[in-house]
């Protein structure tokens, strides 16, 4: 794999040790490959950030609705969802739900969202609908975390143009790593064509120290992506996989579990590293 320099010219490098840009910092958790740990990462990052006392909005932008169930909601019993917000039939203020966790709110999703890609495809400015919907409420939060679907369609484009930072979970296996250069090229295109401004980070997930493959993926990703590959690596953990069935983020279900500890560390590393975006 080649090394990628996406932001070589006209960039702005913050010297500050913590993010002090416009509140909130909006993070999309994205990988077009399925099952790489996007939802687990989005839910745990949101919960761990809320545990630090920050006000967090978790946006479920996936028709599968896994982030919605992951924080304890029944998809079948939802009133309005993010679908209604994007279709402009409900206000975002009426759709955001408080969760049973302090400081954590949810913009929920269910299968209704599956039709949004088609229905919104001929709407002018269709890539900016989420960004506009968030405008009246985003100042209420310190962080907004968006769980994306496993493809690069209209929903994901809406997430990208809304984001300051894209977090790419990469499962420690060959195919997820192989797909990275293509994903990064697509993100680059979105930046130039849709005038989006975001930096990206890669987080390795489901790491198993006993396998040579996990170790090889780690060293290749770290070598190729430098500081954009986060040093916090999430281990494979049965408890983490079991947490959604209890409607709880892993960091709350089993706070002392190694994967939970790593997600808490990830929150700190992610929000400490200076972002580089095009000026």
Ligand X SMILES: Nc1ncnc2c1ncn2[C@@H]1O[C@H](COP(=O)(O)OP(=O)(O)OP(=O)(O)O)[C@@H](O)[C@H]1O
Provide the minimum distance between the beta carbon of 64 and ligand X in the complex, in angstroms, as a whole number. 6
Q: Which of residues 90-119 bind Mg ion (CB under 5 A)?
A: none
Of 103 and 205, the one with the shorter C-beta distance to ligand X is 205
- What lies within 8 Å, CB to CB, of 23 at 6+ separation is 139, 141, 142
Residues that bind ligand X (CB under 6 A): 34-40, 62, 64, 66, 150, 205-206, 234, 236-237, 240-241, 259
CB of 39 to Mg ion, least distance (A): 3
Other Cβ atoms within 10 Å of 168 Cβ, number: 29
Q: Is 247 exposed, middle or buried (0-12, 13-18, 19+ CB in 10 A)?
A: middle
Q: How far is the CB of 250 from ligand X (least distance, A)?
A: 8
DSSP string, 27-93: EEE--SSTTSSHHHHHHHHHHHHHHTT--EEEEE--TT-HHHHHTT--GGG-SS-HHHHHTTSS-GG
Beta carbon nearer to Mg ion, 14 or 151? 151
- Residue of 279, 46, 28, 22 whose CA lies nearest to 162: 28
Choose among Mg ion, ligand X, none what residue 240 binds, the Cβ cut-off being 5 to 8 Å by kind. ligand X
* CA 255/CA 70 separation, integer angstroms: 16
Q: Which does 156 bind (CB under 5 to 8 A by kind): Mg ion, ligand X, none?
A: none
Please identify, using beta-carbon distances, which residue of 42 and 177 lies nearer to Mg ion: 42
Identify which of residues 81 and 142 has a Cβ nearer to ligand X in the complex.
Answer: 81
Cβ neighbours for 192, distance < 8 A, ≥ 6 positions apart: none
Instruction: Please tell me the distance from the alpha carbon of residue 19 to that of residue 53, in angstroms, as a whole number.
Output: 16
Question: Residues 234, 165: contact at Cβ < 8 Å?
Answer: no
Total number of residues that touch Mg ion (CB under 5 A): 3
Which positions from 48 to 87 touch Mg ion by CB under 5 A, shown as an x/- string?
------------------x---------------------
Q: Which of 33, 38, 191, 228 is the binder for Mg ion (CB under 5 A)?
A: 38
The stretch near Mg ion (CB under 5 A) out of 39-47, 115-123, 151-159, 175-183 is 39-47
CB of 263 to Mg ion, least distance (A): 15
Gap between the Cα atoms of 223 and 83, Å rounded: 40
Q: Which residue's CB is nearer to ligand X, number 38 or number 131? A: 38
In this chain, which residue has its C-beta nearest to Mg ion?
39
Indicate which single residue of 28, 31, 36, 39 sits in contact with Mg ion (rule: CB under 5 A).
Answer: 39
Q: For the sheet containing 56-60, what is the strand order? A: 97-98, 104-107, 56-60, 143-147, 25-29, 165-171, 199-205
Least separation in angstroms between residue 34's CB and ligand X is 4
Task: Identify whether the C-beta of residue 164 lies closer than 8 Å to the C-beta of residue 25.
Answer: yes
Question: Is the Cβ of residue 39 or residue 218 nearer to Mg ion in the bound state?
Answer: 39
Identify the CA nearest to 187 among candidates 174, 168, 205, 170: 168
The residue among 7 and 169 lying less far from ligand X, judged by its C-beta, is 169
Note the residues at the interface with Mg ion (CB under 5 A): 38-39, 66
């Amino acid at each position: 794999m080649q090394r990628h320099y996406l932001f070589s010219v006209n960039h702005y490098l913050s010297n500050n040790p913590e993010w002090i840009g416009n509140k909130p910092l909006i993070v999309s958790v994205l990988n077009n490959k399925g099952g790489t740990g996007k939802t687990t990462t989005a839910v745990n990052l949101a919960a761990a950030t809320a545990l630090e006392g920050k006000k967090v909005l978790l946006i479920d932008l996936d028709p599968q609705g896994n982030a919605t169930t992951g924080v304890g909601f029944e998809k079948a019993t939802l009133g309005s969802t993010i679908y209604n917000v994007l279709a402009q039939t409900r206000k975002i203020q009426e759709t955001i739900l408080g969760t049973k966790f302090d400081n954590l709110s949810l913009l929920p999703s269910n299968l209704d969202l599956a039709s949004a890609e088609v229905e919104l495809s001929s709407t002018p400015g269709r890539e900016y609908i989420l960004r506009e919907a968030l405008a009246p409420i985003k100042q209420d939060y310190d962080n907004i975390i968006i769980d994306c679907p496993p493809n690069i369609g209209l929903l994901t484009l809406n997430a990208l143009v809304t984001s300051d930072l894209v977090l790419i979970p990469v499962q420690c296996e060959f195919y997820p790593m192989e797909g990275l250069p293509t994903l990064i090229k697509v993100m680059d295109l979105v930046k130039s064509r849709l005038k989006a401004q975001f930096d990206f980070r890669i987080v390795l997930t489901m790491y198993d120290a006993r396998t040579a493959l996990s170790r090889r993926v780690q060293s290749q990703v770290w070598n190729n992506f430098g500081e954009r590959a986060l040093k916090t690596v999430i281990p494979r953990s049965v408890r983490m996989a079991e947490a959604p069935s209890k409607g709880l983020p892993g960091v709350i279900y089993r706070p002392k579990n190694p994967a939970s500890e790593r997600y808490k560390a990830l929150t700190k590393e992610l929000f400490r590293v200076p972002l580089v975006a095009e000026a």
